[in-house]
Structure 1
Amino acid sequence: MTHDEDETNFFTHNHQKRIVAKFTKYLRAQFTDETKRWCLVDKNGLALAMKQASIDVGFIKIRRGLTSTKGISAGKLTGVILFRLCRHKFVHITNEKFLASEKMMHAQEDAAIATALELLNIPHSENWIDKNKNRLRHGRDESLPDILRELRILITTRHFDQEGIGTYLDALCHLDEAVQYQSPDVSNVPQGLNYLEK
């Protein structure tokens, strides 16, 4: 193997097997014993996605002038995986009536999002988000959006790139960390930004 080939092979065979196993688990969870026969996975397309993810990590290292992946956040690495698992269709639903449901139309993307969240150790059950979405933020009029729904919209409409989605996932990691702690008492904090000037 040449040096250049080694640089583009960030995800080892074991990494890839683990990622593919997680993705497959979440994809299968969307189907019943009766409906799974309508789901076909192009294994070559999935293998290509993992290869391209390794190449993308190499480019991220080069852009940042890094000699190793130290300095690349977990969100960025996972963003690359998520991007590549969604970039090209390799999950095909063969039953047109079944495919007509929006859930099945985006089975690949939903499995990819669940895989990414598991890789980041972010609970993807609704619990931690549902407890807080639509709750007014401290000192603000707007409520917390359903960020997993927003992520799904970004993914399914293709309004993202590897590093953009990586930044989103980094923020999600910090949010997950924050909601694990009780919110501080902010009743004495002046409203608006002018308190920063004092």
Structure 2
Amino acid sequence: MPRWEQGAEDRLREAALALFLEYGYENVTVAQITERAGLTRRTFSRYFADKRDVLFAGSDQLPAALADAVAEADAALTPFEALLDALEKVGDVLAVRVAPHAAQRQAIVDSSTELQERGRTKFAAVSDALDAALRRRGATPPTAGLLADVGVAVFRTAFARWVDEPDAAAYSARVREAADELAHALDRR
């Protein structure tokens, strides 16, 4: 038997998603996931730290990816424009990676207080990284913090809309749509 099973990570993820949807996140164990996937606990541990990680794997890379994209944005862009550019670029890459299971994953997260809290913690890290990146671009601390939080809100809004209708528009279009909506709302105050 080969040391690394081909497709093991995908099998584990698909088994976990199916079980979470069928029985609820809180009612599923790692043992049940590995049994459904036909793999061992040891194999599970090679890919995921715990069952939450099945849903959030790779999300620890998002803060740095967004901060790097802000830094790499055209120097002529305002801090907000650089932020939107970063959200579009990174979001489109992310959308391709998560597309197959995005709606299922979101439904599972929405059904669990524990997972919602984990998501908020992950987005706090994104906000911190964006804040630092915007400061390095010259934004003042209060402005950088405000824009970082707005960026997270735009990101989350765009992602939710994209998950609801992934074929209707690219993720980047959803970012622009959310940003335009925000601008319109601010113009009306």
TM-score (ref. length: structure 1)? 0.31
Higher relative contact order (CA 8 A, sep 6+): 1
Q: Which has the higher helix share?
A: 2
Q: Could you tell me the TM-score, scaled by structure 2's length?
A: 0.32
Larger Rg over CA atoms: 1
